[in-house]
């Protein structure tokens, strides 16, 4: 069975938490496409050119706490504006989406550019303030020098850059279902999303 679930949305909207739970529930593979851009960002901070960094990326690099930092996220979003960087990452994502057994991909352009034929498209969002609070909690476990305002600025800054770029901007696909999780806790949001996907599978 091939079944692709595209989950897009702004920074720290909870896409990862929902996508992981969905993949586990339906026993599908999961790709956090933001990690691809974060690896590129980390390599650029280490001195590589963005395009070389994107062309030489390999799955073994997609881990490490450092990748979750705001610095790397900012570098990722700057590199993500470059058409050649995005082009270099398309094939890996599309191959992943087509795998047997089904796949969940989360990012910014999955439903619009990477998998316009996805079986289910979701756009997960929440207010910037709530997203910053959630991200602060997540990062706080590793770093004590982070403030709410710093994290909020990162989120707002990246959203603006991601929305305003010419190629593959952050936007809900026309046929995406938008879910605002501002007043939902993770388990309620996950149940809601699983229900939507199950209904689509039963059609
Ligand atoms: O976890 P968070 O939502 O904060 O960010 P992420 O999904 O890890 O993505 C980091 C950055 O990569 C984003 O701000 C985007 O600039 C870029 N990105 C993208 O352009 N396209 C994607 N499909 C995924 C991420």
68 to 29, 47, 90, 175, 195: CA distances (angstroms): 21, 19, 22, 30, 30
Distance 137 CA to ligand 1 centre (A): 19
Q: Is 73 in the pocket of ligand 1 (CB under 6 A)?
A: yes
Percentage above 70 pLDDT, the chain: 98
From the DSSP assignment, how many helices (H) and strands (E) are in the chain? 8, 5
Per-residue pLDDT tens over the stretch 43-79 = 999 999 999 999 999 889 988 888 998 899 999 999 9
Q: Is 134 in the pocket of ligand 1 (CB under 6 A)?
A: no
Q: Using 50, 70 and 90 to split pLDDT, how confident is the model at 138?
A: confident
Distance 33 CA to ligand 1 centre (A): 7
Distance 27 CA to ligand 1 centre (A): 24
What mean pLDDT do residues 118-146 have?
Answer: 89
Q: Using 50, 70 and 90 to split pLDDT, how confident is the model at 1?
A: confident
- Which two tokens mark 84? 């050649």
Per-residue pLDDT tens over the stretch 147-158 = 899 999 999 999
Q: In what order do the strands lie in the sheet with 120-125?
A: 29-32, 103-107, 4-8, 120-125, 177-180
CA-to-CA distance for 5 and 115, rounded, in angstroms? 9
Instruction: Report which secondary-structure segment, H or E, holds 178.
Output: strand 177-180
Percentage above 90 pLDDT, the chain: 88
Say how many CA atoms lie within 13 Å of 69 toward its Cβ.
Answer: 16
Distance 85 CA to ligand 1 centre (A): 13
Q: Is 80 in the pocket of ligand 1 (CB under 6 A)?
A: yes
Q: To the nearest 10°, the Cα dihedral for 164, 180, 184, 190?
A: -90
- Which two tokens mark 124? 């997960």
Per-residue pLDDT tens over the stretch 161-185 = 999 999 999 999 999 999 999 999 9
pTM of the model: 0.96
Q: Using 50, 70 and 90 to split pLDDT, how confident is the model at 203?
A: confident
Quick check: helix, strand or coil at residue 162? helix
The CATH label, of 3.30.1330.10, 3.40.50.2000, 3.40.50.300, 3.30.300.160, for the domain at 4-196 is 3.40.50.300
Q: Is 136 in the pocket of ligand 1 (CB under 6 A)?
A: no
Quick check: helix, strand or coil at residue 6? strand
Q: Is 86 in the pocket of ligand 1 (CB under 6 A)?
A: no
The pLDDT assigned to 193 comes to 98
CA-to-CA distance for 94 and 114, rounded, in angstroms? 6
The pLDDT assigned to 142 comes to 62
Q: Which residue has the least CA distance to atom 21 on ligand 1?
A: 108
The pLDDT assigned to 143 comes to 64
What mean pLDDT do residues 114-120 have?
Answer: 98
Give the start-to-end residue ranges of the domains of the chain: 4-196
For the CA of 11, the nearest atom of ligand 1? 3
């Amino acid at each position: 069975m091939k079944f692709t679930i595209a989950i897009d949305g702004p920074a720290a909207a909870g896409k990862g938490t929902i996508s992981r739970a969905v993949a586990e529930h339906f026993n599908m593979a999961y790709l956090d496409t933001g990690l691809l851009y974060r690896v590129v960002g980390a390599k650029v901070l280490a001195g590589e050119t963005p395009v070389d960094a994107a062309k030489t990326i390999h799955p073994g690099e997609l881990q490490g706490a450092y990748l979750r930092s705001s610095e790397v996220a900012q570098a990722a979003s700057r590199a993500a504006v470059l058409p050649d960087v995005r082009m270099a990452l398309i094939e890996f994502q599309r191959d992943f989406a087509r795998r047997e057994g089904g796949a969940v991909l989360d990012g910014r352009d999955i439903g619009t550019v990477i998998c316009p034929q996805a079986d289910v498209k979701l756009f997960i969002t929440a207010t910037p303030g709530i997203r910053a609070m959630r991200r602060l909690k997540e990062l706080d476990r590793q770093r004590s020098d982070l403030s709410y305002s710093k994290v909020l600025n990162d989120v707002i800054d990246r959203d603006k850059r991601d929305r305003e770029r010419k190629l593959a901007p952050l936007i809900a696909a026309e046929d995406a279902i938008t879910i605002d999780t501002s007043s939902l806790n993770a388990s309620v949001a996950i149940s809601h999303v699983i229900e939507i996907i199950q209904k689509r599978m039963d059609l």
